[in-house]
Amino acid sequence: MNLIDIYIVEDEILIREGIKAILSQEKKYRVVKEFNNGNTFLEYILKAKTLPDIVLMDIRMPVLNGVEATKQVIEQFPDLKIIALSNYVSNIFVTNMLGVGAAGYLPKSVTPDQLFKTLNLVITNGFYYDNDILNLLYKKQKSSTSILFKEQLTPREIEVLKLICSQKSAVEIGELLHISPRTVDGHRNNLLLKTESKNLVGLVVFAMKNNLFLPEF
């Protein structure tokens, strides 16, 4: 069994210990590093020889907050999967973290089952947001200026984009469109290039700005 390596970036020791205790219930998850602020995390990961599979990132921390730490690390490692942790589920916190490329957003009040669900879907699909988070992001993005006309995308690319936003995996998209997962990956890469998105989160933001994706209310 391949282990999923996790970094925890959280300034409160009690919360770090609680997360580790929950993750220890599933053998496939392994916490390999802990940091008490974004600065020590950045100093370490920018020199690391290997990257974790997932980073659990607190938003409000001393020295360097989670938003800025996420922004800086995603600029260097666009495919790194960072899940935001917060005591707050508010428009500003959600849009700030997702805007810099966080692959997920979890309130610290989540149940262990919700934590494991998010971890599993982020590993499988590249990102995961529940409907409440998507709705907050949509309300923020719907008033923004489009960054690219949707006419620059092919009909097939638009189909793939909508399914990505619906949080389908490459295998699921392939089955729905009767194409191979490898072809799905090709469309996804074209979408990233055409929309100038760094990762799948950027594609979701693009789709919302261009009215190609509407979350379920």
List pLDDT tens digits, range 37-57. Answer: 999 999 999 999 999 999 999
Q: Is the pLDDT of residue 205 over 90?
A: no
Structure tokens at 36: 């008490």
Q: How confident is the model at residue 210, as a pLDDT?
A: 82
Those residues with Cβ within 8 angstroms of residue 14's Cβ, 6 or more apart along the chain or in another chain: none
Are the C-beta atoms of 39 and 12 separated by less than 8 Å? no
Decide if 185 contacts 170 (C-beta within 8 A): yes
- Torsions phi, psi for 163 (to 5 deg): -75, -35
One-letter amino acid for residue 137 of the chain:
L
**What is the structure's pLDDT at 38?**
95
Task: Break the chain into its structural domains and give their ranges.
Answer: 4-138, 144-210
User: Given the structure tokens 């729905």, which residue do they identify?
Assistant: 176
Q: What is the pLDDT of residue 55?
A: 98
What is the number of helices (H) and of strands (E) in the chain?
10, 5
Mean of pLDDT values over 197-214: 82
Among residues 87, 98, 161, 171, the alpha carbon closest in space to that of 130 is found at 98
pLDDT for the residue 147: 54
Contact indicator for 73, 80 with CB cutoff of 8 Å = yes
Residues, the chain: 217
pLDDT score recorded for residue 64: 94
For residue 96, what pLDDT is reported? 84
Which CATH topology does 144-210 take?
Answer: Arc Repressor Mutant, subunit A (1.10.10)
pLDDT at residue 144 in the model: 57
Q: How confident is the model at residue 1 (pLDDT cuts 50, 70, 90)?
A: low
Q: Are 114 and 122 in contact (CB under 8 A)?
A: no
Domain 4-138 sits in CATH at: 3.40.50.2300
112-125 vs 13-23: helix axis angle to the nearest 10? 70
pLDDT value, residue 121: 93
SS3 26: coil
| Residue 85 contacts residue 59 (beta carbons within 8 Å) | yes
Report pLDDT digits (tens) over 53-97: 999 999 999 999 999 999 999 999 989 999 999 887 777 788 788
Residues 166 and 41: their CA atoms lie apart, in Å, by 31
Structure confidence by residue, pLDDT tens digits, 105-159: 999 999 999 999 999 999 998 889 887 787 777 776 665 555 555 568 899 999 9
> Do residues 7 and 20 make contact, with C-beta atoms less than 8 angstroms apart?
no
